[in-house]
Amino acid sequence: MKILLFLLLYGLFASNNGAWWQRLFPDKRPMEVVQEEPVPDTLTLMFIGDVMSHMPQVDAARLADGTYDYAPCYRYLAPYIASADICIANMEVPLAGEPYSGYPQFSCPDAMMSQLFDAGVDVFLTANNHTCDKGAKGIRRTIHVMDSLGIPHTGTWLDSTDYFQRNPLIIDKNGFRIAVLNYTYGTNGIPVPKPFMVNMLDSVNIFNDIATARATDADYIIVMPHWGIEYERKQNKKQEAYANYMYECGANMVIGGHPHVVQPITLENRNEYGVAQRFTAYSLGNFVSNQRKRYTDGGIIVKCTIVRDTNGTVRITDYEYLPYWVYRGVCFGKYQYYILPAKDAVEYNAQYNIHGADSVALNLFYNDTKSLIDNVPESRFIFGYKTFGPWQTAEDE
């Protein structure tokens, strides 16, 4: 009897391709579990231009006790900078210590860099034409100061051992391995002192570094060259050739600096979503400086978003730019250089208290920049002048 019952149940459960529930409950269906698509990993990248330190800036930041305060300079862009997962800045002056100096051979207070780090910059580039301004002391001290504060940097190294240990710079964030490569076209004719190493803009260096980055399983490779011709608002053929070569070698993005003015952004190699996968910003302009001539008194911040799809592909999904202008004037009774979001300052000009020639320069820079960058959306970030405006009283801060 038990054997017959077993055979009956076996036939019931095993028949009909195993759909035994259809025999027991013919009017029912199994519960359907909807498998949601996994959310792809996301990372926001931000890039700011040339950080310069002319002596009027140093004097403006000096406090009565001899220390330096650059926080007012950065305060209006700090919320935007801090919104990125990784923000990279071009530190175009060595931290060589006192006596401080401006053009043509720079040495700036450590606070200029460290307080920019506090404002949200995560990585600094150190290979540029002013790297050797103060010789071995400048290179060594710049590296040591950044290392002592735990700040990632790339472009210069103490020696060949340091170079092979720390190049390329790999940043692990949000599940991504981001490689950052930095090169300079030269060092103003000053030889690189031994045993230090400065990454030169050279096809062999580029090829080897990108190959090494790939070999270390980098998900995304960003090349940041110091190149071009100063004050030229359009990239030259040499920049374009280098950018193409970098992409051929395996780079994913190219962000340049040095000309001290904004140069165009090119968008190439669009994917099935219509989004360019080769994003090249030839020059971001000055982040801060004492330069006041047309085109040099501001720059742009570039922000890009990358994702890793469920199939493992890493791609750009979004990009935008934020124009900013450097106001040189008095705020709360303090003379300083204030980096202002250009659109915000233009729209709320009266609240920013920018008048006369300054107002003309602000509007000119903003319109010049918008006419040059017409293929990338302007940032939708809202600063809110009631929060960040310089018309606040000291008691409101």
Residue 366 lies in a domain: yes
pLDDT at 384: 52
Q: In 10 A of CB 128, how many CB atoms?
A: 29
Residue 16 lies in a domain: no
Residue 120 lies in a domain: yes
Q: Identify whether the C-beta of residue 255 lies closer than 8 Å to the C-beta of residue 281.
A: yes
pLDDT at 347: 87
Residue 7 lies in a domain: no
- Compute φ and ψ for 119, nearest 5 degrees: -75, -10
Ranges under pLDDT 50 in the chain = 1-36, 38, 385-397
Residue 396 lies in a domain: no
How far apart CA 14 and CA 5 sit, in angstroms, is 14
pLDDT at 388: 39
Q: Identify whether the C-beta of residue 259 lies closer than 8 Å to the C-beta of residue 229.
A: yes
Residue 36 lies in a domain: no
Domain around 63: 41-379
The token pair at 34 is 């909807």
pLDDT at 40: 62
How far apart CA 377 and CA 168 sit, in angstroms, is 31
| pTM, to two decimals | 0.87
How far apart CA 281 and CA 90 sit, in angstroms, is 14
Pick the closest to residue 302 from 84, 63, 78, 31 (CA basis). Answer: 84
| pLDDT per position as a tens digit, 20-76 | 334 433 443 333 333 445 456 999 999 999 999 999 999 999 999 999 999 999 988
pLDDT at 349: 80
Side chain identity at 334, as an amino acid letter?
A: K
pLDDT at 394: 32
How far apart CA 113 and CA 95 sit, in angstroms, is 8
How far apart CA 121 and CA 112 sit, in angstroms, is 12
Whole-angstrom CA distances from 95 to 113, 260, 351 are 8, 20, 36
Q: In 10 A of CB 391, how many CB atoms?
A: 14
pLDDT at 383: 61
Residue 25 lies in a domain: no
How many domains would you assign to the chain? Answer: 1
Residue 2 lies in a domain: no
Q: In 10 A of CB 359, how many CB atoms?
A: 16
Q: Identify whether the C-beta of residue 133 lies closer than 8 Å to the C-beta of residue 188.
A: yes
Beta-carbon-side half-sphere exposure of residue 191 (alpha carbons within 13 Å): 3
| Domain of residue 356, CATH code | 3.60.21.10
Side chain identity at 335, as an amino acid letter?
A: Y
Pick the closest to residue 46 from 305, 285, 282 (CA basis). Answer: 305
